[in-house]
A and B are shown apart, each in its own frame.
Chain A
């Protein structure tokens, strides 16, 4: 069943889009990752122009993170003040990111730079995941976990503009969360990812937030920042395809439910190795596309 995407102006198989949404949804349900970092490169592979893929993926992430954010809000398992500061940073980052994206688009460099960005990003995530999960598998055999200090005082505590974050039990400067939020905002705008995979470790290791509020706060930030990014891409670049986002989301939401149920039954560590291999595979394919001489050296620019 072919469907003509009104903004991308290409005709693709609707079942392929639903299936893609479903597969990425299953993975995100199993591992609790957003899936944007897999979906965007997969959209490149099926022939969606990168400019459209990135902006549309931001829109899809709004849909997939809003329900999680709501659930955490109901359970009060998020730090709203911290979330708002992260959102403020994210909005600034996204605004910069969308402008950079528009400049790259005009220069015809979006494709290459977004692909390079993904090779770096997926390369890092994939190898970290692989190392981490292999270590974890070994650890279960040895059964000895080194203790880590729960709360450390570091350079973060020397910065000005300190704020009391009650839900997190922290008294730290607003600058680091603002910067972390901004970095995630830039990534959302240029790469079409939610950025949870960077924000969550940053919140735990740099800010020292308690794990129980980290996921909720991260989803809170992602929902607002990707919503803002979507509007900005729509007004600046006109590259958000509602029909594409909707189909991906339909597949994704069903996939996520299946994934969440599968994830409970299957061995977590082995699954993590599996995801790491997928991530590294996608990274490898993107890298090959950049390094090997393409069969067609010429391309047509975006229509004005």
Chain B
């Protein structure tokens, strides 16, 4: 049966052997809302899906790349220097914008499934996501930013972490650490053939403080006077209550 069909399939494949080979992504997220609650200790999202084909499987190496990017923010990076024997923040460099979170998972090492030019054009590597005035000094500050955020679990590169089955089904887990910045996160799934991106699909993830955390944070930043008075009132009350309780014991 299979053997009999092969010539026809080959013809169909060749007919559609244009850059878009008719491969589409259907993907989904395990959750598109992350709530930062009082006991928030990081989270994990599962991104999964399938490569949908109208035509049979074509030749060429298939690759899946999944990125999750957090809100962009300008960031100040400081460098310590030794002044009078003490290590003090001396130089600072302003990075115009950088993602507060960036994870990139792929079904094989990135270089093997994505051309360099294609990678840069689609801003896939972390360095491409960071915008900073280029100077002799800027490079060291940018790489320090990447290094620090990698250590904090905010930036990560996860080659081979996308599980790809029968060139069709894929899935990966992305860990979100506890120190997440609030905002809209974007998960993007790319499918590549021989180093070229054939299709991509984006989905949004909403990261929000909720409940008491939300309330405290909003009050502190929007009504700082009321918040300060509340802090004092709460402290006075607990201090007084504690003295009453312990006088009885």
Contact = CB atoms under 8 A, between A and B. Distances in A.
A103 interface: no
Contacts, number: 177
Interface in B214-249: 216-217, 220-221, 224-225, 227-232, 234-236, 238-240, 242-243, 246, 249
B7 interface: no
A60 interface: yes
A154 B30 CA distance: 76
A72 to B, nearest CB: 12
Contacts of B78: 108, 298-301
B74 interface: yes
A1 B41 CA distance: 9
Nearest to A303: B73
Contact of B85 (A10, A231, A238, A291): A291
A65 B239 contact: yes
A2 B243 contact: no
A37 interface: no
A2 B43 CA distance: 13
B36 interface: yes
A270 B133 CA distance: 60
A63 interface: yes
Interface stretch (A168-176, A185-193, A201-209, A240-248): A240-248
24 contacts: A3-B39, A11-B41, A60-B235, A67-B239, A67-B243, A109-B88, A109-B89, A112-B87, A116-B86, A231-B228, A240-B220, A240-B227, A243-B216, A246-B238, A249-B238, A257-B246, A290-B87, A297-B79, A298-B148, A299-B77, A299-B78, A299-B80, A300-B148, A301-B92
Given A60-B235, A112-B86, A235-B225, 10 more contacts: A2-B39, A7-B217, A10-B179, A62-B235, A64-B239, A232-B228, A235-B224, A243-B216, A300-B145, A303-B75
